[in-house]
Amino acid sequence: MKLYYTKRSPYGRKARIMALEKKIALELVEVDLANKPENLYQANPLGKIPVLELADGRTLCDSPLICEYLDGLSPEPKFLAQELRQRLVTLNLAAIADGLMDVTIAAYMEKQRHTQDFHQRFVQLQEETIQRCLAFFDQQVQELEPMNLASVGVISAIGYIQFRVASLWNPKAYSRLASWYEKQMRRPSFQSTIPG
Ligand SMILES: N[C@@H](CCC(=O)N[C@@H](CS)C(=O)NCC(=O)O)C(=O)O
C-alpha cells in the first residue's frame, strides 16, 4: 500500500502513526503540494493528502476513513472500540482533533498569504477556537487512554500547533493535557513522525 503524504501534514501523521503501531508496511510517497502531480488528482479530485492507494489500485481519501481502514487491517493495537458508546466517544473526540488541525491551518495560512495585512478578526477567531479546543481536551485526558484514534489525533494536532504557531501552545494553561502529551511523546511512533 502507498500513502501519499507530506511530512508536515497532521492528517497524514495519524495514518503514519497507526501503521507504525500496527506494524503495517506502507510505502510513503511524499507529495509536493506546491506542484501537485497529476496522479494525486486522479486519486483524489480534491487534490488533498493523505491518500491511501491499496494493492489493487483503489484509493481511499480523507484521514478518518484511512485510519478506520488501517484499524480494520490488523487486530492489535485497536484504535477504535467495537462497543458503540466507546466508539462514538472516540470518534467524536477524533473529529474535534481534526477540526483543531483545520483551524490551525486556516490561521497559519491566512498569515502566510497576507503577511502584512492578514484578516485580524479571522485569525483571532481561529486562535480562540484553538484555545477552546485545548481547554476542552484538557478535561478529556482520561478518554485519550489507552491509545486510540482520538489520542493519535490530539497528538498530531498539538504537534502541528507547536510546529506552525508555537506561541499558542502554553503547557501551563493546560497542565493535564501537557503532562499527558509529554508522556505520550516518548513513544517511538510519535517521535519519528514529528512534523518538519
Ligand atoms: N479532511 C482531510 C484534510 C486533508 C488536508 O487538508 N490536507 C492538506 C495537507 S495538511 C492538503 O492536502 N492541502 C492541499 C490543498 O488543500 O490544496 C483529511 O482529514 O485528510
**Which are the contacts of 74, defined by CB distance < 8 A and separation ≥ 6?**
22, 23, 24
Q: Which amino acid is present at 182?
A: E
Q: What is the pLDDT of residues 11-70, one digit of tens each?
A: 999 999 999 999 999 999 999 999 999 999 999 999 999 999 999 999 999 999 999 999
102 lines ligand 1 (CB under 6 A): no
Closest listed residue to residue 66, CA positions, set 56, 79, 76: 79
95 and 179 part of one domain = yes
7 and 61 part of one domain = yes
108 and 157 part of one domain = yes
How far apart, in whole angstroms, are the C-alpha atoms of residue 29 and residue 146? 30
pLDDT of residue 110: 96
Claim: this prediction has a pTM higher than 0.85:
yes
126 inside domain: yes
196 inside domain: no
End residue of a domain, out of 73, 108, 134: 73
68 and 111 part of one domain = no
Instruction: Return mean pLDDT, the chain.
Output: 97
Q: Which amino acid is present at 83?
A: E
Closest atom, ligand 1, to C-alpha of 10: 10
195 inside domain: no
49 lines ligand 1 (CB under 6 A): yes
How far apart, in whole angstroms, are the C-alpha atoms of residue 33 and residue 170? 30
58 and 108 part of one domain = no
End residue of a domain, out of 52, 73, 94: 73
Mean pLDDT of 121-142: 98
pLDDT of residue 124: 97
Nearest CA to ligand 1 atom 13: 48
Closest listed residue to residue 94, CA positions, set 144, 128, 159, 51: 144
- Residues spanned by the domain of 176: 84-188
**Which are the contacts of 10, defined by CB distance < 8 A and separation ≥ 6?**
101, 104, 156, 157, 159, 160, 195
193 lines ligand 1 (CB under 6 A): no
Q: What is the pLDDT of residues 56-88, one digit of tens each?
A: 999 999 999 999 999 999 989 999 999 999 999
98 lines ligand 1 (CB under 6 A): yes
126 lines ligand 1 (CB under 6 A): no
Cα–Cα distances in Å, from 75 out to 14, 23, 71, 83, 182? 17, 11, 7, 15, 27
The answer to whether 127 touches 107, Cβ cutoff 8 Å, is: yes
Q: Domains in the chain: how many in total?
A: 2
Compute the half-sphere exposure of residue 25: CA atoms within 13 Å on the CB side of its CA: 1
In percent, the amount of the chain with pLDDT more than 90 equals 98
End residue of a domain, out of 19, 49, 73: 73
193 inside domain: no
